[in-house]
Amino acid sequence: MSDFVSAVELNDLLTRGAPVRVIDVRWRLDRPEAGHDDYLTGHIPGAVFAALDTELSTHGEPSEGRHPLPSTATLQDAARRWGVRAGDTVVAYDDFRGISAARAWWLLRQGGVDVRVLDGGIQGWKAAGFDVATDDVSPEPGDVVLDPIGGDALSIDEAAAFPASGVLIDARAADRYRGDSEPFDPVGGHIPGARNLPEPVHFDAEGRILDRETILASFAEVGVTPGTAVAAYCGSGVTAAHTALVLHEVGIEAKVFPGSWSQWSNTPGRPVATGDQPG
C-alpha cells in the first residue's frame, strides 16, 4: 500500500465519511508562524493545523538540534487535539512536496497510526478543483493511544558510526553539504562519510512523487539499493524524514538522525568534512 494518497482519493474518502483525519502541516524555517497564517487563507475542509515546532518537535539546548523529538505523550496529546481516534487514518499535507508533512508521517507511523501524505499537497487539492475552507478547525478531542516513538531515530554517536556499516544520506542542498554556505548553523560542511542526495529531487514540478524506477536509480547513485542499511539527516530532522518517506515508498527502510546538522554543528569536538566527497 502506498504512503501517498491523491487528492481525488482523499476527496472520495471524505465524501464517504471514512474515518480520516486530515492535518495541515505547513511550515517555514525562516517564518515558523507563517504556516498557520497560510492555513487560514485556505485549507482542506475539516483539516486541523498541526504545529511542527511545538507538536511535532520540542525545544532544548542548541546541542540537541533545532527540532528535538517530542515525547510520546506530547505527540499523543497533539494527535488527540487533532481529533484522531483509535482506528483513524491520518492524512498529512503541506505546500512544499510533503517535506514537513513527512515529519508527521514519520512520527505517527512510529506511534502505530495508519498515516498517509497527500501527493501534490494543497496545490494538488486545488488543482483537482476541490474547495478550500478558511476556518480554524477545532474538532472534538480524539482518544488515540500511541505506541512509544523514537525507535527509528539515531543518536549523534550512532550517526557518527553509521557510514562504517551503511549509507548515511545528507538531504540538504549541495552547497550546505559542501560547506560553501551555512545560513542556519554555526559550522558548514557535513558528517564525515555522509553522501549528499538533496530532497526534494524525487518529486516533479507539481510536487508529486516520481515513479519507482527513477527513485531507485537516484538512490543507487549514492550506494543505496534494497538491503542496504541506510539513514538520513538534514539541517534539523525535517527533510530527513522526507527521505525516509520516499525510501519507504520504494520498499527500503531507513533510520533518521533527528538532531541532524543543527545538533552535530553545535556539539564541540565533532569532526566536519567539506567539499563534494564524503570525506
* Residues involved in catalysis: 234
Cis link prior to 200 (omega < 30° from 0)?
Answer: yes
CA dihedral 20, 247, 177, 237 (to 10 degrees): 40
Cα(256)–Cα(230) distance, rounded to whole angstroms? 9
Task: Specify whether the CB–CB gap between 63 and 263 falls below 8 A.
Answer: yes
